[in-house]
């Protein structure tokens, strides 16, 4: 039974970067903006956090810096799409390509450096309890942070007035504008929140999960996070479930190798991507459900002068 608990702990650990990135993107998309730059923002968050952690010796400062870096990069996206009305798809792709290039460039001197990362929590006494000890008290502090973020986002979106306004802006920006809500400003905030979350997701990888920096270390997690938001039909708790499902798939590929399964490693490594495709196809199949749940103005530019 302890092994089961151990596996659950590892699954949560593997799914957490997706939780951060996908929840952030969920909030962005709820405001009607589609930011495809998650992969780039995660990488920039990862490299910034690692550099700050390596320089200052404090991984927590690194997480803060990664968060700010993700938000800063998303600001570029916001200016282009919200103020200059650029195409959101093209700009998001540009953000990802730019983030991949930027992180590779600035992180070059940090590739083989070893740092002291954020270690999993160990509450004396409690973490050693049988069964529940590890499960309740043995996670990385950032895992608890991601769960708190989940609860906060759920509460914000569905239980508060600003959350209602955010969703209204995503459903019908013209109406929201007409009754006096600052549509563009709200979207700016939503985009930057998404960027900050993606930055923390990257930081988690660089200073807690691995902890190290390698070029392109997110390995497509930003894109999987985007797919997760669709799987989840834009609902927070499904994002959480989906993220852990994919954490489990990633973990299964590692475990299979450790157990000496003779399938070549490259074929195992394909599994998370193939799983993403299969689940995406199954969920998207119900076009009505997607249309009803997706924010109605998702991806469309809004010009307040019109």
Tell me which residues touch another protein (CB under 8 A): 36, 76, 79-80, 84-87, 89-91, 93-95, 97-102, 104-105, 108, 215, 219-220, 223-224, 226-227, 230, 264, 266-267, 269-270, 273-274, 276-277, 280-282, 284-285, 287, 290, 303, 305-306
The answer to whether 213 touches 110, Cβ cutoff 8 Å, is yes
The answer to whether 42 touches 22, Cβ cutoff 8 Å, is no
Residue 138 beta carbon to another protein: minimum distance, rounded to whole angstroms: 31
Question: Which pair of structure tokens corresponds to residue 157?
Answer: 């979106």
Residue 287 beta carbon to another protein: minimum distance, rounded to whole angstroms: 5
- The DSSP line for 103-172 is HHHHTGGGTT-----PPPP--TTGGGSTTHHHHHH-S-HHHHHHHHHHHHHHHHHHHSHHHHHHHHHHH-
The answer to whether 38 touches 222, Cβ cutoff 8 Å, is yes
Residue 212 beta carbon to another protein: minimum distance, rounded to whole angstroms: 18
Between 38 and 65, CB nearer to another protein: 38
Between 17 and 117, CB nearer to another protein: 17
Q: How far apart are CA 41 and CA 87, in angstroms?
A: 18
Between 13 and 224, CB nearer to another protein: 224
Residue 162 beta carbon to another protein: minimum distance, rounded to whole angstroms: 25
Q: How far apart are CA 44 and CA 249, in angstroms?
A: 25
Residue 10 beta carbon to another protein: minimum distance, rounded to whole angstroms: 22
Residue 37 beta carbon to another protein: minimum distance, rounded to whole angstroms: 10
The answer to whether 19 touches 150, Cβ cutoff 8 Å, is yes
CB atoms within 10 A of CB 93: 15
Between 105 and 237, CB nearer to another protein: 105
Number of helices (H) and strands (E) in the chain: give both, helices first.
Answer: 14, 0
Residue 45 beta carbon to another protein: minimum distance, rounded to whole angstroms: 16
Between 91 and 297, CB nearer to another protein: 91
Query: Helix or strand or coil: residue 166?
Result: helix
Between 4 and 90, CB nearer to another protein: 90
The answer to whether 77 touches 190, Cβ cutoff 8 Å, is no
Between 117 and 195, CB nearer to another protein: 195
Between 71 and 142, CB nearer to another protein: 71
Query: Helix or strand or coil: residue 132?
Result: helix
Residue 290 beta carbon to another protein: minimum distance, rounded to whole angstroms: 7
Q: How far apart are CA 219 and CA 176, in angstroms?
A: 38
Q: Please choose, from the candidates 215, 216, 177, 243, the residue with its C-alpha nearest in 3D space to the C-alpha of residue 26.
A: 243
């Amino acid at each position: 039974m302890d092994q089961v608990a151990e596996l659950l702990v590892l699954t949560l650990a593997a799914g957490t970067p997706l939780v951060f990135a996908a929840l952030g993107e969920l909030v962005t998309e709820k405001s009607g903006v589609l930011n495809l730059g998650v992969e780039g923002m995660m990488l920039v968050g990862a490299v910034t956090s690692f550099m700050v952690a390596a320089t200052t010796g404090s991984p927590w400062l690194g997480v803060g810096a990664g968060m700010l870096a993700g938000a800063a990069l998303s600001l570029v996206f916001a200016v282009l799409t919200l103020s200059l009305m650029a195409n959101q798809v093209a700009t998001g792709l540009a953000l990802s390509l730019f983030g991949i290039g930027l992180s590779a460039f600035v992180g070059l001197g940090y590739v083989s450096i070893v740092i002291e990362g954020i270690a999993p929590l160990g509450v004396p006494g409690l973490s050693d309890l049988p069964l529940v000890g590890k499960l309740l008290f043995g996670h990385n502090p950032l895992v608890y942070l991601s769960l708190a973020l989940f609860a906060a986002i759920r509460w914000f979106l569905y239980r508060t007035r600003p959350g209602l306004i955010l969703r209204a802006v995503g459903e019908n920006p013209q109406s929201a504008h007409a009754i006096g809500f600052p549509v563009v400003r709200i979207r700016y905030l939503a985009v930057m929140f998404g960027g900050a979350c993606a930055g923390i997701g990257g930081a988690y990888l660089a200073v807690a999960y691995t902890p190290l920096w390698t070029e392109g270390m997110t390995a497509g997690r930003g894109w999987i996070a985007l797919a997760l938001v669709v799987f989840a039909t834009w609902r927070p708790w499904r994002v959480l479930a989906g993220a852990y499902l994919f954490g489990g798939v990633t973990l299964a590929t590692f475990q299979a190798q450790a157990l000496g399964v003779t399938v070549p490693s490259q074929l195992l490594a394909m599994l998370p991507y193939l799983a993403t495709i299969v689940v995406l196809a199954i969920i998207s199949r119900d076009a009505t459900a997607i249309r009803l749940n997706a924010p109605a103005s998702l991806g469309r530019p809004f010009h307040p002068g019109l």
